[in-house]
Amino acid sequence: MWKYLAFVAAPIIAFGIQACAPKSQDDCGFVQNVYGERISWKGQYPVAMYIHESVPQEYVGAIVAAAKTWQDAAGTPLFNIVTNQRVTGPITAQKDSRNVIYFLNTWEEDKAAEQARTSIYWIGDQIREADMRINGKFTYYWNSPGMASFTQASSVNIEALFIHELGHVLGLKHNDGSNSVMATYLANNSDRVNIAEADRSALRCEY
Ligand SMILES: [Zn+2]
């Protein structure tokens, strides 16, 4: 049976997952299934991430950089960011066996504080699909050599946001401590682009 969980990047999040069965494992920073087993791609990587045409071209490099950051930390290719083609069609994340990043210019009014939302789908303890939605209502910047960086009120480092959301794609849950890139809230103008030791040790449990 398909299981589903959506992560939101927002100041407050509630998790409803309990580890309570005989096969329970240490969570090690990962989402767990109802049996307490860690959920990850279980060797089925690099994970192909497709980019919807709604994502502005100037942010594609930030996705590639974020993927490289995780790969450098793991010492293995975790992602294949597909940059030579774009996904077309509706800006609607759905379970379609393809991992897609979307950029939305509309967002639920009652969830305006969310910067992004990543949904993962799994069977057993294996992730089969992950989709990412970026909230286009925020103002973003990126400290890229080829792109002018800027700082203004209410702007978010989009590379830092992609690093966090790709962590969810890998199966990581929030970690509000240890300078983790998986901390729930990404503050405005925070250049949180370095993988913390806590993130490295979490990665080692599954990758
Ligand atoms: Zn998150």
Domain that holds residue 189: 3-9+19-204
Condensed to tens digits (0 to 9), the pLDDT of residues 189-202 reads: 889 999 999 999 99
pLDDT at 7 over 50: yes
pLDDT at 167 over 90: yes
- Which residues touch 62 (CB under 8 Å, ≥6 apart)? 142, 144, 158, 159, 162
Query: Is 77 within a domain?
Result: yes
Query: Is 14 within a domain?
Result: no
Say if pTM beats, i.e. exceeds, 0.85.
yes
Query: Is 53 within a domain?
Result: yes
Residue 11, pLDDT score: 42
Question: Per-residue pLDDT averaged across 110-122, rounded?
Answer: 92
User: How many angstroms is it from 168 CA to the middle of ligand 1?
Assistant: 7
Domain count, the chain: 1
Q: Give the other-Cβ count within 10 Å of 145's Cβ.
A: 6
Residue 118, pLDDT score: 94
- Position of tokens 């767990």? 32
CATH number at residue 189: 3.40.390.10
User: How many angstroms is it from 42 CA to the middle of ligand 1?
Assistant: 21
User: How many angstroms is it from 164 CA to the middle of ligand 1?
Assistant: 6
